C-alpha cells in the first residue's frame, strides 16, 4: 500500500508551542486583572481537554460560580490570548521540532500531499507557519483542518475526518503525526496509522496503538518511520 498524504497535528508536533500558549494565557489573565495563573502542572492537566476555549471552560468549571466569566467575556478573553500568542510566535518564541522540515521536503519529493489537522485556531496556524516558513499556511499545506471547523475537538475524530475529506483520500493511504494521547485517539478513530513524537508535556502519555513512536523526526529515524508507514496500512 502506498502512503499518499501525511497529516500533521500542530501544537507539540510541528513545534513545542505549549509553553508559549501557557504564557499567552497567563499574560491575558493578568491584562484583564484576573487572579488566574496556570502553572506547568495546571496546564498539563488542562491539555487533556482539546482546544483553548474548551480549556478555559474546563478551568472555570472548577471555580466558584461568582468567580466565573460569562461566556461572551470568556470568548473575548480567548481572542485576546490568541492575539498575544500570535505576537509571541512572530517574535520567534518557537521553531520547528527537529526533523519536521526535512520530513515535509521528503514527502514533497515523493509527491505526497501535506495536511494539517489541529484543534488550534486558524490564526494560530497562520502565525506559526509564517514564523517558521515565511509563507502563508496554504502555501505549505495542501489541506488545513483547524479549530472551530468541527463540532468537537480531539479526541473526537472529526478534525481528521475533515482533513481526509478535503484530501479526497481514504485513511489507509494517509499517515498522521501526533504528540499526545488525545491526538492519537482522534487519528486512530478516523482509521489512520499514527507516528508519535512526544512533546515536553506528553512524554508520560499512553501511546498504545501508535504505528511508531520516536523522540523526534530527525533523519536518522527515517528507516523506522518509513517502516511505520507500511505497517500502518
Least Cα distance to 39 among 158, 201, 167 occurs for 201
Q: Which three cell numbers stand for residue 215?
A: 523522540
Same domain, 46 and 135: no
Same domain, 77 and 104: no
Strand partners, 176: 7, 194
Same domain, 128 and 191: yes
Same domain, 105 and 195: yes
Same domain, 105 and 44: no
Q: Which of 9, 156, 179, 205 is catalytic?
A: 9
Percent of the chain with pLDDT over 70: 93
Task: Compute the half-sphere exposure of residue 149: CA atoms within 13 Å on the CB side of its CA.
Answer: 22
Same domain, 83 and 166: no
pTM: 0.92
Q: Which of 11, 156, 179, 205 is catalytic?
A: 11
Band the pLDDT of 90: cuts 50, 70, 90.
very high
Alpha helices in 97-215 (DSSP H): 100-109, 122-133, 158-167, 181-189
3-state secondary structure of 6: strand
Q: Is 205 a known active-site residue?
A: no
Report d(CA 207, CA 229) in Å as an integer: 16
Same domain, 104 and 151: yes
Q: What was the pLDDT predicted at 218? A: 85
Q: Which three cell numbers stand for residue 180?
A: 499526545
Same domain, 170 and 86: no
Model confidence pLDDT, tens digit, residues 32-72: 999 999 999 999 999 999 999 999 999 999 999 999 999 99
Same domain, 38 and 108: no
Same domain, 138 and 200: yes
Q: What is the mean pLDDT of the chain?
A: 93
Strand partners, 114: 6
Kindly report the backbone phi and psi dihedral angles of residue 115, in degrees, each rounded to the nearest multiple of 5, phi listed first: -130, 165
169 in Cβ contact with 4 (< 8 Å):
yes
Tell me the residue range of the domain where 30 lies. Answer: 18-90
Same domain, 45 and 157: no
Number of domains in the chain: 2
- Residues with Cβ within 8 Å of 45's Cβ and at least 6 positions away in sequence, in order, are none
| Direct distance between the N- and C-terminal alpha carbons of the chain, in angstroms, rounded to an integer | 6
Model confidence pLDDT, tens digit, residues 174-189: 999 999 999 999 999 9
Q: Which of 62, 90, 118 is the last residue of a domain?
A: 90
Q: Which of 90, 110, 125 is the last residue of a domain?
A: 90
Strand partners, 116: 8, 144
Mean local confidence (pLDDT), 108-115:
93
Q: Which of 90, 109, 131 is the last residue of a domain?
A: 90
Concatenated DSSP letters of 76-94: HHHHHHHHHHHHHHHTT--
Same domain, 140 and 79: no
Q: Is 11 a known active-site residue?
A: yes
Amino acid at each position: 500500500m502506498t502512503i499518499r498524504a501525511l497529516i500533521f497535528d500542530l501544537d507539540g508536533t510541528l513545534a513545542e508551542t505549549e509553553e508559549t500558549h501557557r504564557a499567552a494565557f497567563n499574560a491575558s489573565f493578568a491584562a484583564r486583572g484576573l487572579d488566574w495563573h496556570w502553572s506547568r502542572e495546571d496546564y498539563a492537566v488542562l491539555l487533556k481537554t482539546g482546544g483553548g476555549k474548551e480549556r478555559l471552560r474546563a478551568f472555570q468549571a472548577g471555580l466558584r460560580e461568582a468567580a466565573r466569566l460569562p461566556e461572551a467575556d470568556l470568548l473575548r478573553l480567548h481572542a485576546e490570548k490568541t492575539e498575544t500568542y500570535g505576537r509571541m510566535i512572530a517574535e520567534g518564541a518557537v521553531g520547528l521540532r527537529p526533523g519536521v522540515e526535512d520530513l515535509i521536503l521528503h514527502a514533497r519529493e515523493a509527491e505526497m500531499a501535506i495536511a494539517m489537522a489541529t484543534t488550534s485556531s486558524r490564526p494560530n496556524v497562520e502565525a506559526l507557519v509564517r514564523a517558521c516558513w515565511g509563507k502563508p499556511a496554504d502555501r505549505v499545506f495542501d489541506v488545513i483542518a483547524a479549530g472551530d471547523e468541527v463540532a468537537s475537538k480531539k479526541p473526537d475524530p472529526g478534525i481528521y475526518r475533515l482533513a481526509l475529506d478535503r484530501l479526497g483520500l481514504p485513511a489507509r493511504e494517509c499517515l498522521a503525526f501526533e504528540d499526545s494521547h488525545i491526538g492519537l485517539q482522534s487519528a486512530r478513530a478516523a482509521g489512520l496509522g499514527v507516528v508519535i513524537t512526544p512533546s515536553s508535556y506528553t512524554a508520560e502519555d499512553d501511546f498504545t496503538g501508535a504505528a511508531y513512536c520516536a523522540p523526534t523526526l530527525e533523519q536518522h529515524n527515517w528507516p523506522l518511520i518509513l517502516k511505520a508507514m507500511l505497517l500502518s496500512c
